[in-house]
Amino acid sequence: MRDLGYSGPMCEWPRVELLPGTRKALADLSGDFRLFAASNAGDSNADRMGRALARVGIRDRFERIWTARELGWKKPDPRFFEEAVRGTGLLPAACAAVGDDYARDIVPAAAAGLWAVWLREGTEAPGRPRFRRSREESAAEARAVIRSLEDLPGVLRAL
């Protein structure tokens, strides 16, 4: 989902929207991968996050949803990812985390043993500067760097 800069729970925002390529990526992935959502959203719990995802018609793509409230940790703490993985019943090495914030998503996901996929374009909130890294620095933590969610299915199949 795109961060539009509103405050409060996303399910109550006047407008919510998907990042370009989200529907196609989820449709392509859903037959071959188990899909979960974990969010740092401080104003929401899993139910509210599910309602936000339902507003854009993708709630049914996710087997389970967590927010920092259910997980007990906030990103960038690697325990956020460790708790989410524990809830899947999978090993960390069998999981991928996709995020747009290098410091809050990619570094802690990799530290928790997940495959970290860095989405570098099209996700920034209005007025919020992006954390940028060079290609060399990103290679240290991210297993893959994508510019669009449409690239995600191919990347995950290649990992």
List pLDDT tens digits, range 95-147: 999 999 999 999 999 999 999 999 987 544 444 444 444 444 545 689 999 99
Question: Where residue 80 sits, what CATH number does that domain have?
Answer: 3.40.50.1000
pTM confidence score: 0.86
Domain housing 93: 10-158
Q: Report how many domains make up the chain.
A: 1
Q: pLDDT tens for residues 30-55?
A: 989 999 999 998 789 999 999 999 99
Enumerate residues 6+ apart whose C-beta is below 8 A from 60: none
| Position 45 in a domain | yes
Higher per-residue confidence, 131 vs 18: 18
| Position 37 in a domain | yes
